[in-house]
Structure 1
């Protein structure tokens, strides 16, 4: 698309990109350099939930995109845990001259194979998830799968059913909730209950207005 725009400048009045841009991408080159050269990096990271800025010293290993946001995948030297850091929350990035010698054996292609988003997967196991979708929404999900494990299991004139094998993370639950009444989780029961609780809490908030 960029090449087409460069070759034909008049396309700019015909092709419109999303105006909402992710923040933090200015760190991309420095982080890519640090990963390639195994450089220790230091930065301040802001936690939206706790509203706290914390100092981090990490061994950077990879970069991952999720829902138009970029994340740094790194080992925190404080506790030796693998973590993800949103680039939009990284400040005062410093790429050290010091190299880390540890040889990590993470296979991130496999690590994120059954993941949706970049949530910590250490405490969860992938499992089968069944969805029932309205015909209208199901056609969209069919043409643009939510995950690589997506399989179509059943179809009726009114509905399309899909099966997934992934971690039932908070990110995935938020994705399902974004479809409203058009998509319903049938299994696993734990995820069904979590979604029901979230919907009830949302309804209660509107009833208070």
Structure 2
């Protein structure tokens, strides 16, 4: 049996149980229908199902349990948080849906902006896994400056359909972020580097919105409170601005959320994108920053 057949069966089981608890027969019937739809070989038995349960926990971080009173299996959601596994599953399910359709351009409109620099992805993953130095040419858009870099790669991060490399620059031993679409002439060396003990990319960006982290020593995240009207608030609740988002008010007047973030260019640009739908309640310094930018923008449109 091919790996794609096994992965397809895993996703069918997960999708079925995400909808509602189901007996083994109900899971089998659903999987059989999906096989007929997508043209996969139908292979299902009690032994394969038990093996699938273990593999789904190991590979997809989804724990399938059995409810004896209902006599049905159910999914213990987020037993082990795994955003990467969820993203891979989403991409796979999208591929399956598009792959079965002829003439999809008639009714599926795909984003035409594709992330740049993806040709470096495989090489960077190799360097990250093997902890080896890399060299490349880097162009800064702000000043057009082009420099040669030698860095120890630490992680890859996605933000707004762009990919970035987090790395320690050997020139000044400082951790920096490099956009993949501005990297050229990438070379993976054989020079090993020693990884920083206990470093986690999730901790590094924990209080960041986007890919910018303040370089000033002693910089600390701040408590930020934002107000959205009732309609806009529904969107903010369904797709939080950041992992730190907490709801402080949610009624007919509107939604107040609280975030714990560094105040950076990325965050200010995000708040500006919401226009008049958002009011910064605190801190006062951020209110002043936003007012200054909006006043300057308003000067471009005299009546």
Report the TM-score when normalising by structure 1: 0.92
- Identify if the C-alpha distance between structure 1 residues 91 and 4 changes in structure 2 by more than 3 Å, giving closer, same or farther: same
> 2:246 aligns to what?
151
Structure number with the bigger relative contact order (C-alpha 8 A, sep ≥ 6) is 1
CA contact (8 A) 1:150 1:163 kept: yes
| Partner of residue 161 from structure 1, selected from 236, 249, 256 | 256
Where 2:111 maps in the other structure, the secondary structure is coil
Question: Counterparts of 1:17-36 in structure 2 under 5 Å?
Answer: 17-36=110-129
> 2:81 aligns to what?
none
CA contact (8 A) 1:130 1:164 kept: yes
Where 2:102 maps in the other structure, the secondary structure is helix
Structure 2, unaligned runs of 5 or more: 1-93
Residue 67 of structure 1, CA deviation:
1.1
CA contact (8 A) 2:128 2:155 kept: yes
Where 1:26 maps in the other structure, the secondary structure is helix
> 1:103 aligns to what?
195
| Partner of residue 131 from structure 2, selected from 35, 38, 57 | 38
CA contact (8 A) 1:5 1:11 kept: no
Question: Counterparts of 1:74-89 in structure 2 under 5 Å?
Answer: 74-89=167-182
> 2:300 aligns to what?
205
1:10 aligns with 2:102: yes
RMSD of aligned residue pairs (Cα, Å): 1.6
Find the aligned partners of 1:197 and 1:11 in 2 and give their Cα distance.
Answer: 50
> 1:60 aligns to what?
153
Aligned residues: 206
Which 4+ runs in 1 deviate beyond 3 A? none
Report the TM-score when normalising by structure 2: 0.65
Q: Which one has a larger percent helix, Structure 1 or Structure 2? A: 2
Where 2:122 maps in the other structure, the secondary structure is helix
| Partner of residue 286 from structure 2, selected from 191, 201, 204 | 191
Residue 158 of structure 1, CA deviation:
3.6
CA contact (8 A) 1:61 1:74 kept: yes
Residue 111 of structure 1, CA deviation:
1.5
Where 1:206 maps in the other structure, the secondary structure is coil
Residue 71 of structure 1, CA deviation:
0.3
Q: Which one has a larger percent strand, Structure 1 or Structure 2? A: 1
Structure 1, unaligned runs of 5 or more: none
Find the aligned partners of 1:28 and 1:199 in 2 and give their Cα distance.
Answer: 38
Residue 24 of structure 1, CA deviation:
0.9
Where 2:301 maps in the other structure, the secondary structure is helix
